[in-house]
């Protein structure tokens, strides 16, 4: 299949489903709109997954890549978006803007997939801003005073980041890539006299992508956005757009550092690795320490997500091996979809839940299957074997440690220390994560169920919620089973069986 046809085949179903969802919603067929959006996203994810296995990397119109690892990222983006829409179908069908939110998720997923695969810097900007515009609308879609405030904060910071992206883009196009093709920046560090200009332009672009991924210190929009959004919106925002931003980040990074053997290139590789290492350490420290103090379930997940992005950047310090960072971000996207959707499932089981971690007390006895599934996802995110998250951290931290030893052997001490310190920070952060993930498990299984005050109506609602379960519970269980299955796979075929789809070949 030609590259252009493959782009149409992978993006078309999701985009068409988004348009169809809007039309169906306009005619008050809200539940149909949600299922059309979910199935369209699943169809795009299936095509992208097929392309991952069967199609090599190819360029369509010299503007967007497809096949290989770029198709793998698109597959994860579309599948997690489909899970978010289907998992939130019960809640979204009860909202008068449910179809609109589903359409925005579908459009945002398409934009995120294009952003990750963009080969042209102008297309990267357009797709990045399209995904951002969808995100602003999704956050405000909760229609509360807090969500409106969070969306406005997100929008203002996003507008500033767009200005910086245009600035960096102007530098790159004017000096290094007049054609606008990102491959042109491979030789940007060959001229020592332009080294400072090249670093300025590249760091500006990387900082904007770090903002989109929620990397500290560019993270201030994320906790409020995730906490005030509806659970299915938070599930989507924590997965596809974040994965796309990390992918674009490591693609730019690996292109800029593609010639470490040259004097200027080696200097650039070390400078960029040090910057990425500082971002990784900052994200891990801020996310881990602040997450420990959170009492809200979704706000804790938001700060934990900041730490998780830091772990991905630990893999990105291995600037010549971007696959480890993208693989880690993909595994996080899958697990985070389930953990955020669990907020909807918890509320359907216990309608009086106030959103706090303490409010989940006794849920392990009230909803054992849901609680066990959430426990599996949290244990995986903490990096405990044999679940998928353990292998993701092993690959990311292992890539950083391997590059550290190679860098010291080659005399690149700055590169070696940057990778080594980032890996140590990742390990320490993973230990700290047992505190905040463990707090949820403690509440689910060790704390007694709160008294209901003899209110029969509340008890009746809770029993009805337990009986219904809902699509959110079903999706959380499915995601947990995937995490188990993919975690067992390396025991039979090695870690390479998981990493292979994300490796350039």
Q: Does residue 15 belong to any structural domain of this protein? A: no
Q: What percent of the chain has pLDDT over 90?
A: 77
pLDDT number for residue 452: 63
pLDDT number for residue 265: 47
Q: Domain of 477? A: 118-502
**Res. 351: pLDDT tops 60:** yes
Position 415 confidence tier, pLDDT thresholds 50, 70, 90: confident
Q: Does residue 184 belong to any structural domain of this protein? A: yes
Mean pLDDT score, 396-423: 91
* Coil/strand/helix, residue 133: helix
pLDDT number for residue 188: 81
Position 8 confidence tier, pLDDT thresholds 50, 70, 90: very high
CB proximity list for 27: less than 8 A, separation 6 or greater:
none
Q: Does residue 81 belong to any structural domain of this protein? A: no
Q: Which of 17-21, 54-58, 258-262, 444-448 has the lowest mean pLDDT?
A: 258-262
Q: Which of 220-234, 273-287, 403-417 has the lowest mean pLDDT?
A: 403-417
Higher-confidence residue of 189 and 247: namely 247
Helices 263-291, 413-445: inter-axial angle, 10-degree rounding:
20
Whole-model pTM? Answer: 0.94
Number of domains in the chain: 1
Q: Does residue 4 belong to any structural domain of this protein? A: no
Q: Does residue 63 belong to any structural domain of this protein? A: no
Q: Does residue 371 belong to any structural domain of this protein? A: yes
User: With b meaning 16 or more CB within 10 Å and e meaning fewer, what string describes 130-147?
Assistant: bbbbbbbbbbbbbeeeeb
pLDDT number for residue 453: 55
pLDDT number for residue 259: 54
Q: What is the mean pLDDT of the chain?
A: 91
Q: β-pairing, 58-60 with 64-66?
A: antiparallel
Q: Does residue 21 belong to any structural domain of this protein? A: no
Q: Does residue 67 belong to any structural domain of this protein? A: no
Cα–Cα distance between 152 and 283 in angstroms, integer?
Answer: 23
The per-residue pLDDT for range 56-112, each reduced to its tens digit, is 999 999 899 999 999 999 999 999 999 999 999 999 999 989 999 999 999 999 999
């Amino acid at each position: 299949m030609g590259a252009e046809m493959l782009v149409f085949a992978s993006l078309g179903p999701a985009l068409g489903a988004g348009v169809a969802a809007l039309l169906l919603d306009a005619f008050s067929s809200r539940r149909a709109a949600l299922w059309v959006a979910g199935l369209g996203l699943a169809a795009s994810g299936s095509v992208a997954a097929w392309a991952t296995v069967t199609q090599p990397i190819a360029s369509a119109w010299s503007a967007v890549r497809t096949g290989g690892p770029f198709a793998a990222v698109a597959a994860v983006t579309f599948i997690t978006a489909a899970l978010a829409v289907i998992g939130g179908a019960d809640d979204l069908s009860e909202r008068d803007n449910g179809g609109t939110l589903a359409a925005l998720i579908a459009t945002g997923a398409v934009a995120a997939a294009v952003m990750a695969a963009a080969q042209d810097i102008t297309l990267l900007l357009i797709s990045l801003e399209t995904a951002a515009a969808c995100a602003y609308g999704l956050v405000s879609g909760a229609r509360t005073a807090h969500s409106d405030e969070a969306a406005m904060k997100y929008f203002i910071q996003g507008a500033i980041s767009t200005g910086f992206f245009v600035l960096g883009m102007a530098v790159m196009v004017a000096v290094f890539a007049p054609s606008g093709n990102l491959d042109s920046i491979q030789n940007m560090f060959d001229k020592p006299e332009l080294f400072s200009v090249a670093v300025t332009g590249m760091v500006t672009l990387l900082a904007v992508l770090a903002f989109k991924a929620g990397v500290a210190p560019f993270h201030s929009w994320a906790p409020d956005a995730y906490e005030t959004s509806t659970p299915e919106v938070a599930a989507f925002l924590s997965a596809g757009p974040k994965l796309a931003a990390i992918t674009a980040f490591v693609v730019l990074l690996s292109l800029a550092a593609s010639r470490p053997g040259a004097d200027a290139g080696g200097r650039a590789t070390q400078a960029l690795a040090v910057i990425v290492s500082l971002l990784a350490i900052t994200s891990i420290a801020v996310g881990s320490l602040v997450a420990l103090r959170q009492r809200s379930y979704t706000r804790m997940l938001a700060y934990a997500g900041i730490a998780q992005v830091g772990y991905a950047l630990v893999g990105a310090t291995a600037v010549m091996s971007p696959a480890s960072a993208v693989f880690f971000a993909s595994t996080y996207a899958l697990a985070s979809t389930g953990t955020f959707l669990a907020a909807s499932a918890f509320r359907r089981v216990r309608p009086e839940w106030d959103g706090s971690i303490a409010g989940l007390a006794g849920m392990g006895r009230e909803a054992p299957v849901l609680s066990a599934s959430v426990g599996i996802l949290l244990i995986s995110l903490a990096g405990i074997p044999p679940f998928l998250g353990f292998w993701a951290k092993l690959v990311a931290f292992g890539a950083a440690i391997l590059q550290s030893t190679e860098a010291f052997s080659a005399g690149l001490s700055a590169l070696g220390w940057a990778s080594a310190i980032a890996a140590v920070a990742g390990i320490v952060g993973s230990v700290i994560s047992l505190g905040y993930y463990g707090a949820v498990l403690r509440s689910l299984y060790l704390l007694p169920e709160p008294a209901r005050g003899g209110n029969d109506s509340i008890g009746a609602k809770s029993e009805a919620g337990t009986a219904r379960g809902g699509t959110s519970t079903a999706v959380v269980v499915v995601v947990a089973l995937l995490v188990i299955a993919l975690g067992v796979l390396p025991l039979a075929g090695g870690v390479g069986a998981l990493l292979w789809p994300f490796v350039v070949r």
